[in-house]
Chains A and B, each alone.
Chain A
Amino acid sequence: MATDLPKLEAEFAAIAGAENVVASEGGWLVSPASTEEVAGVLRIANARGLPVKVIGAATKQDWFNPLDFHAGRPGIVLRTGRMHSVREHAAQDLTAIVDAGCAWGEMQRQLAQQGQRVALDPLWPERATIGGIVAANDSGALRLRYGSLRDLIIGMTIVLADGSIARSGGKVVKNVAGYDMHKLMTGAAGTLGVITQVNFRLHPVEQVVRTLTVRSLDLAPLERLMHEISDSQMVVNAMQLRLRAEADGKEMHALDVMFAAGAECVEEQAKWLRLSAMRLHVEEAGRGVWLARQSVFESASRREAASRIAAASQAEAASPMEAASVFKVSLLPQDIARFLAHLQAAASGAGLRCAGVAQATGLITASLMGDASASAALLRSLRAEVESRSGSLALQSALPQIGPGLDRWGASIDALPLMRRVKQALDPNCILNPGRFVGGI
């Protein structure tokens, strides 16, 4: 194999250009510029059984298992960064075709020139790429009104492991011809194919947007209000419940509600909310509150960095292992407030700090910070609790820090053998992001 390496490098260079192939320890970083170039690179990798790790801006690498590099084989890191255009924006049709390596924020700026956008609020929009966001199936608070990526993607171009280029869906929103392969690829962690282009349906950028925050010492009245709004005929864009962050001196929990409609309607709904909130504290809020999910990640990673520095400066065996872990919980909407309360009480009982923000759709982003083994134990018990209520808990941090033996996704999925067969059918040599996904797929 070793004698083969220069030849392989030359082959990659012939496809993507020498300046876009960088040799690194254990393989190459290759940056193809088109779907066809991706296909060329994958054909070589597939023929040789070389593992391929696909990255955009690498913002969510910790959401998946580390790459299971095949023993002794060089690997390829395939960067999508050179595929970064908004290919087509049919404003009158409210559709767009965008390259996978385009940063989310850049895409939104271009679409905004015609007053449109993809109605989704993923994490780190300035850095995160379309391909990465789709592969990780990220979604934010706007999901309440506009759905998730599966509702906003109408077509896709993918390259399979063997280099075949496949398209699904198309450029029209309503289309039932063939399988929805783009739904299969969304959230598949790049294990089934490399996404090179995504076709989106668009929505107009709303003219009148207003957020109100309701605060309370107890979660219960906020929970009641949230369910009352869910069960009402009001049209809200987003709604989230934020657990109070004790360390920041903010003593109250918060419910954020985003209205977007005609001016008159927004005014009416805001008035209704103020009346319904009665004795609770209500205030106008800026867009910043919708970064709450991102803050959970950022405070955890600050804490993580601080504890690493502290550990490095002390004698190795002296201090217990600290950890900061972020996780995503999915529950039925009626169960989220109870979960948040339980999280806070249990964390406090275990001497851990926690943060949490729950979307009205039932998706929660939360973190635990403190002693690593106490965190791991609590995560196990939280997961058992969540799974008993038909939910799931997925870790979105690097695993070694939160304790070995804790699976990233946990739930026993009876469709796992079927998922393995799907993987086998599309990537028989298992070269695409091997080992990174559920069940070691």
Chain B
Amino acid sequence: MLNQAILEDLGRMVGSDGIILEREQLQTYECDALTAFRVVPGAVVLPRTTAQVQEVVRLCARHGIPFVARGAGTGLSGGALPAAGGIVISFARMTRILEVDIANQRVAVEPGVINAHVTNAVADHGYFYAPDPSSQPVCTIGGNVAENAGGAHCLKYGFTTTHVLGLEVVLPDGELVHLGGAALDAPGYDLTGLFVGSEGTLGVATKAILRIVKRPEAVQTLLAAFHSSTAAADTVSGMISAGMLPSAIEMMDRLSIQATEAAVHAGYPLCEALLLVELDGPVSEVESQMRMVRDLCALHGSSEVRVAQTADERALIWKGRKAAFAAMGRIAKNYILQDGVIPRTALARVLRQIEEMGAAAGLRIANVFHAGDGNLHPMVLYDDRIPGQEEIALDLSYRILRACVDAGGSITGEHGVGKEKQQEMGYMFSEPDLATMQRVRCAFDPKGISNPDKLFPRPRLCAEKAGPYQPHPLEASGVAEFF
């Protein structure tokens, strides 16, 4: 696909030190953090400017070459997986913080800027950038924008989309547009809102204007041990009923606690369900609400409650939680991490269902999740040395997602659809829902070259007509009328 003339053009555009063509080096880019899918790209370019990105994309458009933008490659759904023979546009050299405007609480950055570096740039003024995916020390804003990244604290502070005010975007034909802006409510359609979370299928962001948030006066983190996930879930419901909005509510089950303790020794009590609640805000508010949370934990039979007294104690608690995924290596050879969402009230019921599904399949499932917003991260543990077990694990992980949809939820809360959950999109959305999104996609990318064959259940050409409306099986059976 990439002939010598094209490669030479690319080299002229980004400089000889800005293009990677050697097979071994290209292999670095064959997958993101979802390693199950691997495709070696035809070339990797590392532009330094928006103009260079435009040139590269124009060339792709001229020759119909698929491209995908890439930040740190920490995505968990294969969003940055290259297309065979396609081009990877790496933002490793567009890492400048362009403007810090504390007075207006705005920061403008290039897409290669690391999430945590935004906070570092404003911390001295008492501000922070709120979206905090677990990979925040390495993941980039460009990737966060593509995936609409979340994190533990989005319960209170919202997702990436809440914090992106404006974008500079290179469209798939190379045209440069500005969506939104530093001021609110720019005239016209909210294309910023559409672009965030579109997983690279609508173009490439080359600049983002972000909103920053004042650091709260006080932060308190509580750890509570429960003898059942139902008791922990009821405690969460109690907090919500009382009108509280903690900045984070996390839950871990016994298996995850064991793995985490083996890995980072966070000092977690071993129990069936561990609840981690963080409150932040004015001191008096945090103190009075923390009293209520403690009371609720006691009411629901918590066997042990600890409140972190120092910043170090709090950091240790979070270290355990954030290391939970990586820690699975301690208790299993392999695992598949999933990212389903359910209404909070279905928590205890769906957890039981997941446990039963695991037992029936003969596999263990560890659960670490954002309990406040019903975002589950079940990890299906398996051993790929046992023939057939990987297939069973994969099948089980997808069935768990479907159970989430059946409960009125979603197949992904923060990891994105990417390559991994393309087919599940067809389970969650009906054909007309997807056809509508596809029409929008075609308005941006009529040639289908911007991160093709992702997000939608199957590749479809822009001119292709959608089939007749077919009611979703659940809709037809009257189980649900809305997904």
Contact = CB atoms under 8 A, between A and B. Distances in A.
Contacts of A330: 183-186
Nearest to B429: A178
Contacts of A334: 103-104
A418 interface: yes
B411 interface: yes
Interface string B409-437: 11111111100010001001110111111
Interface in A224-277: 227, 230-235, 261-262, 264-265, 268-269
A176 B281 contact: no
A438 interface: yes
Contact of A167 (B185, B413, B430): B430
A206 B242 CA distance: 11
Nearest to A151: B162
B261 interface: no
B375 A170 contact: no
User: Which size bracket describes the interface of A in this complex?
Assistant: 35 or more
B268 to A, nearest CB: 24
Given A167-B429, A170-B408, A170-B410, A184 B284 contact: no
B183 A332 contact: yes
Interface stretch (A23-31, A278-286, A387-395): A387-395
Contacts of A437: 188
A402 to B, nearest CB: 17
A192 B439 CA distance: 12
Interface in A382-427: 390-392, 394, 409-411, 413-419, 421-422, 424-426
Contacts of A421: 443-444
B171 A418 contact: yes
A11 to B, nearest CB: 20
B181 A177 contact: no
Given A94-B240, A268-B284, A176 B185 contact: no
Interface in B190-230: 190-191, 193-194, 196-198, 214-217
User: Which size bracket describes the interface of B in this complex?
Assistant: 35 or more
Nearest to B106: A332
A62 interface: no
Contacts of B375: 174
Given A174-B414, A184-B191, A233 B216 contact: yes
Contact of A171 (B179, B184, B343, B433): B343
Interface in B346-374: 370, 373-374
Given A176-B147, A176-B413, A415 B191 contact: yes
26 contacts: A94-B240, A147-B162, A164-B469, A167-B482, A170-B482, A174-B341, A174-B374, A174-B375, A175-B412, A176-B147, A176-B148, A176-B415, A177-B412, A178-B434, A179-B198, A180-B161, A184-B440, A227-B103, A235-B285, A363-B184, A414-B177, A418-B175, A418-B191, A418-B444, A419-B191, A422-B444
Given A171-B408, A174-B370, A180-B194, 9 more contacts: A171-B343, A172-B341, A174-B373, A174-B414, A176-B159, A180-B148, A264-B285, A411-B186, A418-B443
